[in-house]
Amino acid sequence: MPPTAVDPSAAPSRKAPLAAPSELPASAEANVPLHVGVASVTQLNNRLAEYMTPAELKTIKDAYRFADEMHLGQVRRSGDPYISHPIAVAEICAEWKLDSQAIMAALLHDVMEDQDVLKDELIQRFGAPVASLVDGLSKLDKLEFQSQAEHQAENFRKMLLAMARDVRVILVKLADRLHNMRTLGAMSSDKRRRIARETMEVYVPIAHRLGLNNLYRELQDLSFAHLYPLRQRTIAKAIRAARGNRRELVGKILESVKSALAKSGIEASIAGREKTLYGIYRKMRNKHLSFSQVLDVYGFRVVVDSFEKCYVALGVLHALFKPMPGKFKDYIAIPKLNGYQSLHTTLIGPYGTPVEFQIRTAEMNHVAESGVAAHWLYKNQDAALTDLQQRTHAWLQSLLDIQHQTGDPSEFLEHVKVDLFPDSVYVFTPKSTIIALPRGATALDFAYTIHTHIGDHAVSAKINHEPAPLKTELHNGDIVAIDVSDDAQPTPNWLSFVRTGRARSAIRHHLRSMNREQAIEVGELLLEQALISLELPGSVPPTIQDKLVGDTGAKSMADINADIGTGRRLATLVARHIQGLMDATIAASATPSGPVHLPEQKIKPVTISGKEPASSVQFAHCCSPIPGDMLAGNLRRDQMLVVHTSDCELARRSRAKDPGRWIDVSWAQEYASRFNCRISVLVNDEKGLLARLAAQINESDSNIVLVGMDEGRREGPLTELRFTVQVEDRVHLARLMRNVRQVRGVARILRDKS
């Protein structure tokens, strides 16, 4: 596509357009689709002219010319000229009224990655701030990453750190992702699902965390449509059918509310709203409801002109309809982490139907929709917005703290994702300062949120003035105080119960940075505690130490203790090994008069969660244990614990040969979310059957890791297909197998433990 640039000699008029249709060469105008070329530039110009000066528009015009020239001849997968994408991204940013530097970065965001434009050239043309924004938005071109996942994690790390320095980076990136999601239909199905899953896991939570609720909801629904198209279409069809039935009900509620508020002298704008498709789907799934059971598909938003009238309007609504107990939330007094403020109440409307109301001021409504982007709209430093900016700054600063403590990109992304969960609890310091934490956070998370030094030296907590362990889970309204001691230090077992990314990264950083002497001391203490729990002496005899060192391949007992102290070995497994060596030593010292009878000991099983490091715990490939299975563990000579199901045939044979190396294992109360499991499906060899099976497995909320066919195991016209799938537990597996069994052409299905 020829560049659609303005004549450089033309003098810019006040709020002049970037490129008017008449300024395009005839050939360009003929070749550019109207909706992505001329029209989009005109729309962008008109939107920018609402709030920018002529000087700002001129710099943006220059950026547009340069981007158009750089992307000359480049087309998108859809066939549209590539320049249509930067224009669309800039237009989304203009809806948030971002400044000229951000709009220029939106227009230029792909020139470094796609056209090899150097940062120095951008600095010379457009200045250092714009060049830094574009650099933060550009992907990495390094090739030394060992996997796509590692490469992607490094991309996210770079983007988030750039965002921590300038929040405009993520705003432009979110606009970029939104337009890509809107035009994702041109991609292959595999790429659509990958991009949609990435959007749901990373970009949707970031949008929510920054308070960009309109963007958050649209990205959710677009991701849902590409991840689960059949479910999305089914729910959309059900909503269309339900609209006619509920129109009369919605109209009746709307008129009643308007009349009641008017009688009370409250001026308010009232609008009905519909839950998003993904919101309905999530509620159906989480609460195991059918669509007909989700009654509050519709809700109402009441916008008033002052803070006080929010509560007056609430009283009017509660007098009009009866409130549902436990369904009132005051996010005005205690805003959400992203600055969102509103009153939420659910009332029993006509015909006994639950109806949700949200009550807020116009300023609160704007922040609710635009979040941190509202900073560019309101030039006066409104108190609520200042608080929002402080909250956002604190979170962005925490990203830098995590980066300083974490060297691995994948680990950094893991910590950040933990902090992006929307659910939160609100607790108080002894001085009544409100602290927001993710749901499930503990007193130790609270300590690290206050300050890393307090977390590192925490010894206990007081919750509501009562002593409590550091691992105690916090609830809304708790008053929390932390007791510290200079002698206290983080231990590896803290990682098993902290919830926030900041706490987890700080603990890991401390453990990694401990000098060898400290690590040995911590390891000795943990091993001593593990031995005492097995009713063994806390100290290990020198002869047993020598045998342990020989069995494990370590150079010395100090190495073993250092590994325990830094989390590379599990103290409970080392203690079990020592127990076996001591029993063998006692048995070998039996006198000719008869064998030595060892006292019976009550041995607690080792608990596992699936979150242990791969260097210390592995799940056997022969039987692929999942939560709900009875377990048995084989303690190898290198201290690796290999976990089998208790009925595994290979485990039975191995246990019969060497019973001393087998220990009891059980599942922890909380475990990892997904485990690999194999299923064998005997099917009729029909056209399209594999696609139907894959769709049913996907509909059962399971991911296919591997699929294969055993040609050597045919039974007449039947063929055996083998799938490795990811499930949560035995209940999830049973549901998946039940659903697969209903697929036409399936003769038999069973779990494969061979």
Active site residues: 113-114
Phi-psi bin for 79: left (phi > 0), alpha (psi -120 to 50), beta?
A: left
Measured between alpha carbons, how far is 99 from 104 in angstroms, rounded to an integer? 9
* 339/364 Cα distance (integer angstroms): 9
SS3 304: strand
With 0-12 CB in 10 A as exposed, 13-18 as middle and 19+ as buried, what is 693? buried
Using H for helix, E for strand and C for coil, what is the string for 688-737?
A: CHHHHHHHHHHHCCCEEEEEEEEEEEEECCEEEEEEEEEECCHHHHHHHH
Query: DSSP letter string over 565-582?
Result: HTTSS-HHHHHHHHHHHH
253 phi, psi to nearest 5 deg: -65, -45
Using a 10 angstrom Cβ sphere, with 0-12 exposed, 13-18 middle and 19 or more buried, the burial of residue 58 is middle
Supply φ then ψ for residue 210, to 5 degrees. Answer: -90, 0
Separation of alpha carbons 176 and 133, rounded Å: 13
Tokens of 565: 């102290």
The values of phi and psi at residue 384, to 5°, are -65, -40
* Alpha helix (H) residue ranges in 534-683: 542-552, 557-565, 571-588, 649-657
> Is residue 621 within 8 Å of residue 724, measured between CB atoms?
no
Residue with token string 């607790």: 427
374 burial class (0-12, 13-18, 19+ CB within 10 angstroms)?
Answer: buried
Phi-psi group of 71: left, alpha or beta (phi > 0 → left; psi -120 to 50 → alpha; rest → beta): alpha
Report CA-CA distances (Å) from 398 to 228, 402, 416, 452, 500: 34, 6, 9, 11, 11
Look at residue 329 and give its three-state secondary structure: strand
Helix (H, G, I), strand (E, B) or coil at 475: coil
Q: Are 401 and 196 in contact (CB under 8 A)?
A: no
The answer to whether the CB of 740 falls within 8 A of the CB of 693 is: yes
Read off the tokens for 568.
Answer: 């590379």
Q: What is the DSSP letter of 200?
A: I
Alpha-helix runs per DSSP H in 589-712: 649-657, 689-699
3-state secondary structure of 359: strand
How far apart CA 493 and CA 625 sit, in angstroms, is 24
Rounded Cα gap, residues 89 and 95, in angstroms: 10
Asked if 746 contacts 681 with a C-beta cutoff of 8 angstroms, the reply is: yes
Phi, psi of 281 (to 5 degrees): -60, -45
Backbone angles phi, psi at 440, to 5 degrees: 95, 0
Q: Which residue has the tokens 């697929």?
A: 743
Alpha carbons within 13 A on the beta-carbon side of 559: 10
* β-pair type (617-619, 641-645): parallel
State how beta strands 354-361 and 298-304 pair: parallel
349 within 8 A of 249, measured Cβ to Cβ: yes
Q: How many CA atoms lie within 13 A of 115 on its CB side?
A: 20
